Amino acid sequence: MIHRRKMLYIGLLIAAVLIIDQALKFYVKTSFPLDGGFKMLGLDWAQIKFTENYGMAFGLELGGKAGKIILGVFRILAGSGLLYYTYKSLIQEKRFSFVVSLALITAGAIGNIIDGLFYGVIFSESTGNTTAEFLPKEGGYSTFFDGHVVDMFYFPIIETYWPDWVPFVGGELFKFNNYIFNFADLSITIGVVWIILLGAFSKKFSL
């Protein structure tokens, strides 16, 4: 009974992350052109800014269509492995907070896998002037396995210029936290950080 209850909680957590992640991506993709968005609560340092990630994390890419297929296969294998490991950790009665962290990482990975696999087929292309259409009559902007991951959270907490006297970068624009990410990325980050904290502060913690 305990296993079933915990399994239900983990399943609901993964489902909730996926639903929120995909709902946000659908909203942003169909509401804004590329680089479009708005300031949250009117704050310059908290924005929704629509961008697309064409490859791996931080914009890294593998070469061409073959590279995207390899990346897609790798993501599927990694996501399946994470899902299985989460299930095994639950069955083996490992610390529940650890299993929750694994579930967050798994859900985030699956959320980005969905983008890469399907978005090229189900959405029209986003440009700087037009918003994307869901299930366009003329077909998607690419093919299966060639979708772009949608990112939208942007928090440039500090935006200033380096003093002129600083070597090499004097006078240039400096932004702290210039990365744009999505809800799936946030879920993965929270899961990883929590596992690190568990390992650092709990002698009872064991993988």
pLDDT in tens, 89-102: 998 888 899 999 99
According to DSSP, the residues that pair with 51 across neighbouring strands are 151
Mean pLDDT across 72-90: 90
Helices of type H across the chain: 2-31, 64-91, 96-122, 183-201
Residue 147 or 67, more confident = 147
pLDDT number for residue 102? 96
Assess contact for 107 and 18: CB atoms under 8 A. Answer: yes
- Model pLDDT for residues 17-71, shown as the tens digit of each residue: 999 999 999 999 999 999 999 999 999 889 999 999 876 554 455 556 677 777 7
* pTM of the predicted model as reported, rounded to 2 decimal places: 0.86
Known catalytic residues? 151, 185
pLDDT higher than threshold 60 for residue 159: yes
pLDDT of residue 200: 64
